[in-house]
Structure 1
Amino acid sequence: MSKRYLSFFVLTNDATRSRQYKIGVGRLKAFGTLGVLFSLVLTFVVIDYVRLRGDVSELAGLRTENTEQRIELQSFTTKIKSMETQIVKLNAFDRKLRIIANIEEPNRIGSGVAMKGVGGGSSAGAENFLMTPAGKVDQLVDQMRSEMNVLQAQADSQESSFTELQGQLMSQTSLLASTPSVWPVRGWVTSTFGQRISPFTGLPHQHKGLDIANRHGSTVKAPADGIVVKVARERILGKTITIKHGYGTKTIYGHLSKTLVRVGQKVKRGQKIAATGSTGRSTGPHLHYAVKVNGVMVNPSKYILN
């Protein structure tokens, strides 16, 4: 059987010359089949590309949403830690007030739950969120809700305690006014109450007050209402003042450069009574501040509220 061809003639513009091209029908069919297949493959590739673009866009959206959720959860857990810290501080403040007013501690709701406080780590900590698979985010949210419920119970208990405390303190205004509950001078506590190594002998001894360093001549104020019972100069404490506040409480101020009150004078909380110095046995300008209750030296920090 002879082969069948299709002939093509190409003419010049003036039709003076022509060229003939022949192509077999079988070859033409093969080219056509290949063209159809190529079109189908190209169509499939385009459709798949569009689908993949959609998937990538959706995945990017999900990742963005997931990141936003984790950032939100991170902020949420930071707030939880802040609440924990605030409740710890409120509990400490409550205890100080009760010590001052000699009021018994109440039975608190949720008192058996350990508070983590500053530096503590919640089990659903912020640092875990950026490492947590998205599927576990709901679990972390439930865990934080549980922690929030515990904190809410503790906050409610603290509010109830403060309400009770307020009622009892209203009838003890004289006691509160006579309690040394504020700092006599602002500065740096260089030595606390209790055992320490003496800067003079190098041996351990009991330090019966607070040493608060500040510039020479800084103002010393009365931490509570009272009557000045002593203004003197001593070998160790240098220039000193002693104030009697009532209820068995006295405060002592040492190493003063100047005294501004006299024996028998009544003073009010916040009134200027002296200036810091370095008189007596001292290594530099500071205030030695001591509190005596019923004849016994106690830690002044126990009474300071601010």
Structure 2
Amino acid sequence: MMVMMKKKLTLLIFDAAGTPVKQTTIPRVLFPMTAMIVIVAAIVLYLGISDYLRLKNEVKDIHSLRTALRTQEELAVQHQSQIVSFSNKINSLNTKLAELGNFEQKIRIIANLEPSNDGSSLFGVGGSDPEDLDPSTMMEQDYQELVRDMHVEINEIDQASHDQQNSFSSILNQLEGKRNLLAATPSIRPLKGWISSRFGYRESPFTGRREFHRGLDIATFEGSPIITPADGIVTYAGNKGLMGNMVTIEHGFGMVTRYGHTQKILKKKGDRVKRGEVIALVGNTGRSTGPHLHYEVRLNGVAVNPMNYFLN
């Protein structure tokens, strides 16, 4: 029970039976101050609780941010690893294309082919390879700039691969042409024997006069096999007057060979023959002084020296 006096505030404290057991007197001037203290304490408590709740939420947000940041860092590491791996693959492709370019030039030199002069090749002999992407400094670049650089590099590699493919196709065509030319060149002797009369001017064994002999006379045993010195097609097989039984083979590229005075012709007109294939037997037909083969090589219709083509 409180009893208010003019200058003091008296507090009476009773026991359970209602009997006063203690009396306390508080100066009246302290009452507003006490009330102020209580109010301030309540405000401080409210602010403390608010700050605690706010800090608790902030800690929760920081934890979420840390989790998100950790996830982003892991993704960044994965992206960096992928970019580095991709750049290494690009550099590897650059190296392989450069090696292919050098290999192409070696093929052209060895096969005596025309050099590539289209000017479109990314890798030139004696030049440097395209600048490699440096994985150690890549992540310092702006991401968009890095992506642009890699796209440019990929486009250059794609263009270089197409140019290299075209170049190898050109090599293949040239080699095919050379192979066909070599196959059509009468480069081996049509038979073994003794050369009784060479290409060029000679004294005719029949008239004694000086005449131009357009082939080689190769003397050997009658019935010896005559082989074709190059691939071709039989364009004539039959009797040819003074040449006796004669075979003519067209080899392509303007090359033609003729075989005269044969005993027996084993091929007919239109037959395809391969180098080394037997086409006739040595004879003594037509105007001849003994068993031998009259062998001619003609280039674009002009008789040339067969000796210039023998490789054996």
TM-score (norm 2): 0.45
1 or 2 for the larger relative contact order (CA 8 Å, sep ≥6)? 1
Of structures 1 and 2, the larger Rg is shown by 2
Q: What TM-score do you get using the length of structure 1 for normalisation?
A: 0.46
